[in-house]
Amino acid sequence: MTVASDLLKRAKALFGRSEPEARPAAPKKPAKPYHAVTIAPGPRACAAAEQLLNRRFLSRLAPVLPLKACSNTDCTCRYVHYDDRRDTVRRARDIGASIAGYAGEERRDNPRRGRRTRDT
């Protein structure tokens, strides 16, 4: 058997059909790491669902439906999906503004820098 397996390996090497090397699997990254959901209460929602109204959760941290404290036997709550957890822009660069620095006139009285008396 060893002679036959050696011949087979040599033939595969000659014709370029060697066995592919096993590669370690790359860790999977979430497609959208900041994907978020809100809970949209159904028409007869329980108090637990009403308390979570308009609150966004990262989808991997969102509570499972039906909620543990749900009092309805027939829960009709659902998830509403968003690409990002934030619902408003919070940074100037998000709206296209550039903040390069203070554009006003220099108003410091003491031109010397430092806080010690020996700093000159």
pLDDT at site 40? 92
pTM: 0.49
54: amino acid identity, one letter: N
The three-state secondary structure class of 50 is: helix
Question: Within 10 Å of residue 79's Cβ, how many Cβ atoms?
Answer: 14
CA distance 73 to 21: 54
10 Å CB burial of residue 67 (0-12, 13-18, 19+) is buried
Q: Tell me: the pLDDT tens digits for 69-118?
A: 888 888 889 999 988 877 666 676 666 666 666 667 767 666 666 667 67
How far apart, in whole angstroms, are the C-alpha atoms of residue 79 and residue 38?
A: 6
CB atoms within 10 A of CB 59: 17
Q: What is the pLDDT of residue 96?
A: 65
Taking the domains of the chain in order of start, what are their residue ranges?
Answer: 31-85
Amino acid 30: pLDDT: 62
Sheet holding 57-58, edge to edge: 57-58, 36-40, 78-82
